[in-house]
Amino acid sequence: MIVGCGVIGATIAYELSQSPDRAITVLDRNLPASGSTGAALGVAMAVMSQKAKGRNWRLREHSLGRYATLLPELEAAIGYPIQRNQGILKLCFDPADLPRWQSLQAIRQEQGYTLELWTPEQILERCPYLDISRAVVGVYSPQDIQVNPTELTQALVAAARQRGVSFPFGEAVVGFETAASGDATTCVGVQTAGQTFPADTVILAAGLGSTPLTASLQQPTILGPVLGQGLRLHLDHSLDPSAAPLVINGNDIHLVPLGNGDYWIGATVEFPANPEDPESAIAEFLAHPPDPTLLDTVLQGAIAYCPALAQGNITDRWFGLRPRPQGQAAPVLKPLEGYSNVMLATGHYRNGVLLAPATAAAVRDWVLGRAT
Ligand SMILES: Cc1cc2nc3c(=O)[nH]c(=O)nc-3n(C[C@H](O)[C@H](O)[C@H](O)COP(=O)(O)OP(=O)(O)OC[C@H]3O[C@@H](n4cnc5c(N)ncnc54)[C@H](O)[C@@H]3O)c2cc1C
């Protein structure tokens, strides 16, 4: 039983469905990608990330490798393409950052990855639509990607369904049936308003919804919401009409080409006043429309490095709540303490799309390892 069908739950379901003889069910109170995933831009910075070792790098590296096979695999299964981009260019404006990038470039080379450092002239040659007057260097990562999170999640659901995974949507999990077994407790059923689904293994991938679920299992794992706003903008013509336009990042603001002159720009990072009390923090965020001036500041930041965006029409604005663990590092990827058969795969904060494949691999290994 997997609780939650965002990008995390859907990827876990798909990867587990490759093991025969498993009955897999994914419950979601809404539709796939209706939580944080539906608001994400899907930028996956692995090689570009300053993480060079440790758990966070291993998760990023695994995800990058798996995406290279996963996306074609899914496209073959569903029969249509998933919107995505290959290659990210980060504009750096502070000369003091240059040694850090040079050192990362050397590390990545040793690890077998490519990171190119472009002079402002080289940036202009490849991307003549960018204003490079303040740029010191462009860090180009040809192996990093961006993928449309909603399309990805829907493709994972469709492909997992083909392999027999069942997806009862509109089923909110309200509690669990448990049984004592030795030192640990076993979760034997997942309860919704209408029924109890029998379970021998339970994966909690409910994003922000994981907080009350873990509380009901007497092992509260607190995830605070961090609001993010993004927008879609249309230009009369594409900035880069080539077949492989780059995702641009400057000052932590992403510019994601979608084709036909459409772009995503984002995102704000807005912390709640009371992250320790996620229920009231979420309620507080949802009670008021997000502050539009903060999103305007993000847009102005993108216009500063890409002036042509000033001519665009905003065709959509949205926001979402990122699940950020309190008191522990993101993501929360471990068995639930005190239980023999419950695993947490949640709290991916700003990197759930990036880390979904590695998360799913870790869950799959845990499930299969336990079984054997
Ligand atoms: C504006 C914005 C931009 C972002 N950009 C990026 C990016 O560029 N790259 C990146 O990697 N990440 C990005 N993120 C972060 C990313 O969206 C999250 O890390 C990721 O979506 C988390 O996925 P998830 O499946 O854990 O959670 P969610 O997508 O929130 O899914 C959880 C699911 O669980 C369901 N659920 C909850 N409680 C219950 C219950 N009791 N019963 C049944 N179902 C339940 C919900 O309905 C939901 O569908 C961004 C986020 C935002 C808001």
Alpha carbon nearest to ligand 1 atom 16, residue = 352
Q: 156: Cβ below 6 Å to ligand 1?
A: no
For the chain, list the domains and their CATH numbers.
1-42+148-222+327-372 (3.50.50.60)
pTM of the model: 0.98
Mean pLDDT of 195-203: 96
Query: 254-302 pLDDT, tens per residue?
Result: 999 999 999 999 999 999 998 889 999 999 999 998 999 999 999 999 9
CA 229 – ligand 1 centroid, Å = 14
Residue 370, pLDDT > 90, answer no
Question: Which of the four pLDDT bands, split at 50, 70 and 90, describes residue 183?
Answer: confident
The rounded radius of gyration (Å) of the Cα atoms in the chain is: 21
- C-beta of 230 in contact with ligand 1 (< 6 A): yes
What is the number of helices (H) and of strands (E) in the chain?
Answer: 9, 17
Residues in the chain: 372
Tokens 């500063």 belong to residue: 304
Q: How confident is the model at residue 353 (pLDDT cuts 50, 70, 90)?
A: very high
Can you tell me which residue has the tokens 């496209």? 75
Nearest residue by C-alpha to atom 3 in ligand 1: 40
What mean pLDDT is predicted for residues 94-104? 96
Q: Write out pLDDT tens, residues 203-261.
A: 999 999 999 999 999 999 999 999 999 999 999 999 998 888 999 999 999 999 999 99
Q: Which pair of tokens denotes residue 130? A: 């960018």
- Cα(208) to centroid(ligand 1), Å: 8
Amino acid at position 220, single letter: P
| 31 pLDDT higher than 80 | yes
pLDDT at site 372: 40
Index of the ligand 1 atom closest to the CA of residue 7: 25
2, 111 in Cβ contact below 8 A? no
320 lines ligand 1 (CB under 6 A): yes
Residue written as token pair 């700003």 = 350
371: pLDDT strictly greater than 80:
no
DSSP 258: E
Q: Is 107 exposed, middle or buried (0-12, 13-18, 19+ CB in 10 A)?
A: middle
- How far is Cα 216 from Cα 335, in angstroms, rounded to an integer? 16
**Residue of higher predicted confidence among 241 and 175:** 175
- Which residues are 317's β-sheet partners? 231
From residue 43, give the alpha-carbon distance in Å to each of 144, 272, 287. 8, 24, 28
Q: Which of 258, 353, 354, 359 to mutate to test the pocket of ligand 1 (most atoms within 8 A of CB)?
A: 353
CB 39 near ligand 1, within 6 Å = yes
Residue that has been written with the tokens 């000052």 in this structure: 251
CA angle at 333 for the pair 201 and 344, rounded to the nearest 5°: 40
- Do 39 and 319 contact (CB within 8 A), yes or no? yes
Measured in Å, residue 364 CA sits from the centre of ligand 1 at: 20
* Strand residue runs (E) in 93-183: 116-118, 137-147, 173-181
